[in-house]
Amino acid sequence: MEADHLARLAYLALLLVAVAGWVLVEYRKRMGEAMRVAIAWGLIFGGVAAGYGLWNDMGGFAPPPQMVAQGGEITVPRAADGHYYLTLQINGTPIRFLADTGASNMVLSLKDARKLGIDPEALVYLGQASTANGPVATARVTLPSMQLGPYDDTDFSAWVNRGEMDGSLLGMDYLRLYRVEIAGDEMILRR
């Protein structure tokens, strides 16, 4: 353990001793009541923790959907985490991307590559990308058909990242096909 972890552990132990000491003094002749109160608070705390943990599964943090206006303008609301997410139809399969203006290329996660029928183990990883977690091996693939709203693109190059990723990234090689505007809490894409 590191020194700061030990210090935190010691602080929590000291806090626990202080609270336990107060409970013993306050409830010294009523231990049954003290146990009922402790169990009630434990259940309340457990319920709140479980509710918070399940919130994502219940759809609490689902990003808002993108919308296509009549003129072909695509409006993407900012998600609760502050990012913009777009869903592209690739070969008829919906793939959710994080719009990343700091990424040069479209990068597919291993999970999304498999969803598209690409076998990551059969790819040749000749490329290398620099990420926040260090360098990772990449393999180039060609996506025959991509659709975002009313716009279709064919034979688009993307990279499969051999490293662990939470999701796929939509980099500037695709976003440059659009005029991108950030207005308030919306990203607006036009061609």
Average of per-residue pLDDT across 9-32: 85
What is the DSSP secondary-structure string of 126-182?
Answer: -EEEEETTEEEEEEEEEEEEEEETTEEEEEEEEEEESS--SSEEE-HHHHTTSEEEE
Q: Are 19 and 113 within one domain?
A: no
Phi, psi dihedral angles at 86 (to 5 degrees): -120, 145
**Tens of pLDDT along 82-130?**
899 999 999 999 999 999 988 889 999 999 999 999 999 999 999 888 7
Residue 61 placed within a domain: no
Residue 102 placed within a domain: yes
Q: How far from chain centre, in Å, is Cα 25?
A: 47
CB atoms < 10 A from the CB of 80, how many?
10
Q: Are 85 and 156 within one domain?
A: yes
Which stretch, 4-8, 15-19, 31-35, 135-139, has highest mean pLDDT? 135-139
Q: What's the pLDDT at 60?
A: 52
Q: Are 38 and 17 within one domain?
A: yes
Q: Are 88 and 111 within one domain?
A: yes
Q: Are 71 and 10 within one domain?
A: no
46: containing domain = 3-54
Q: Are 86 and 179 within one domain?
A: yes
Name the domain count of the chain: 2
